[in-house]
Amino acid sequence: MAMTLKLKDAWYWIANFAILASCSVSMMMDDPIYLIAVAAPLIFLDRAYVVPVFIFIACIEGSFVSDDASSKAETYAIAVALPFFLYDIITRNKIKVPFKLSLLYVFFGVFVISGMITWGAHPEIKRYVSQALYMKLGIFIYVKMFMKIIKLIFFFMYLKVLINSDKELLYRGLTLVKDMAAYLIALVLVDMLLFGAVTEKFDTLHFGDAHHGDFSSNMNALGVMLYIGIFEPKSTLFKRFVNLAGLGCLLFVIMNIASRNGLLNFVILGCLGGFIALWNLRWGAKVLIVAAAVVVAGACGYIFKDSPTIERFIYQTEEEDGGERIAYWKAGYQAVSRNPVFGVGGDETASLWATFQYAKEVDPHVMHNTFLEFAVEYGLLGEIFFLIYVGVILWHSYRNFMFAAKYNDIILAAPGIAYFISIFAGLFVSRIWESTLWYYSTLVFATYVVYRKPIEDAFSKRKKYLVHGLPDPLKDPAIAIHPA
């Protein structure tokens, strides 16, 4: 028995380090195919590997040199996962996605279609984009918008797979992310130091063409797993050390990419990650850890006081009066005020046209605000829906957070915290279709359906069952977080 366990652990870490090694090679070679080649057989053996592969791709895209390589990464991953998803849905489709959650996907698709129609009703946008790109768009823009429908269907399928597989699949997937997060962040830092371009202004380190706001938010969202690894009761001393080192690597990355958004999200990560980690500790331990954290934060502040992120933060605040975002936001407001109901079209080219039309003093750009971006593209009707959509995810994130704290299984809170960090970053960058948001929202919904909903349903039925002399539904072993 002991030998079997050792072999199982050995295989687990061999597979994990194979994933990590392939991530490193993909970053160095500027080609995601190496990660996909390693991930495909692992996903075939255990669907849980889909969870870290999708999340890690969002992180290592930052090291790719070209936009083309970045786009191929997700395309390859979806192409590999899709046949497995189809097979799983055909063979295991017992649990349905709750009706209210299904409606969110349906209405999102409706607004995507209305956005296509609205974009076609604004020929001035098409003329502007054609002139700016020196090419005829033809049906390309409609294909691009239609692919958003395909993306919605794929993420719905992803949710179906997570809730219809064995109950431990989701937990295994989250555990895989937790166990590899620190190592991946260290690899990203190494790649950053070896191959990252250094700009003259602020001595900033970059990762190819990755936008530092998106990249930093993806890294911070992954960082919640470091706090889980440090404070989870079952963590060994070695794992705590590794995750603490990973947190240091993450801080170094954030302080050298000159992202104000990244710095703010790192602070939020510390608050939320520390909050869930300390929840069930004794007060004495809480006081000691918080005091130590304050001392460490002060030391880090002193060490990084002249870092690119701090220098750019001061420059943008004092010299640039907040930067160009204000102009983008004013242009977005003008576009929405003139097209309030349906917006100006469901594509980012609508935002480019809006800044070109209403903010002549800056180069055409997207809104740098996810919520305003949605309003510009889909109007106030779409904005109301989007607020409801995000609100539902945040509500389930909060409920999952409290559920994880109550049962002292804090890894179940990680997707909700990661989503909050990602959507908060969306206040300063445009990321409606940023895959990280969709990955984490899917994990939030899956955590609700797999773990929380059965217990909530049992509570709602308990009184009626007991009155009629039926077995207590809360004692059903099937609803346990970890069935025997």
Residue type present at position 40: A
- Contact present, 97 and 449 (Cβ < 8 Å): yes
Q: Given this model, what pLDDT does residue 435 score? A: 86
Q: Which of 147-151, 342-346, 376-380, 441-445 has the highest mean pLDDT?
A: 441-445
Question: What was the pLDDT predicted at 363?
Answer: 76
CB count within 10 Å of CB 58 equals 26
pLDDT at 2 over 70: no
**68 confidence band (pLDDT: 50, 70, 90):** very low
**Average pLDDT of the residues in 93-98:** 89
Cα–Cα nearest to 37, from 53, 51, 48, 14: 53
What gap in Å lies between CA 81 and CA 48, rounded to an integer?
11
The answer to whether residue 322 scores a pLDDT higher than 70 is no
pLDDT for the residue 385: 96
Minimal CA–CA distance to 47: which of 89, 98, 4? 89
Q: What tens digit of pLDDT does each residue of 283-311 get?
A: 888 888 888 888 988 888 888 877 777 87
Q: Which amino acid is at 454?
A: P
d(CA 481, CA 162): 15
How much is the mean pLDDT over the chain? 85
Integer CA distances (angstroms), 203 to 62, 194, 257, in order? 18, 15, 9
Contact 423, 394 (CB under 8 A): yes
Lowest-confidence segment of 37-46, 269-278, 372-381 by average pLDDT: 269-278
Express each pLDDT in 379-437 by its tens digit: 999 999 999 999 999 999 999 999 999 888 899 999 999 999 999 998 888 888 888 99
3-state secondary structure string, 54-85?
HHHHHHHHHHCCCHHHHHHHHHHHHHHHHHHH
**From CA 368, how far away is CA 342, in angstroms rounded?**
20
116-172, pLDDT tens digit by residue?
888 888 888 888 877 766 666 667 777 888 888 999 999 999 999 999 988 889 999
Instruction: Provide the percentage of residues in the chain whose pLDDT is more than 70.
Output: 89
> In the structure, what pLDDT confidence band is assigned to residue 41 with cuts at 50, 70 and 90?
very high
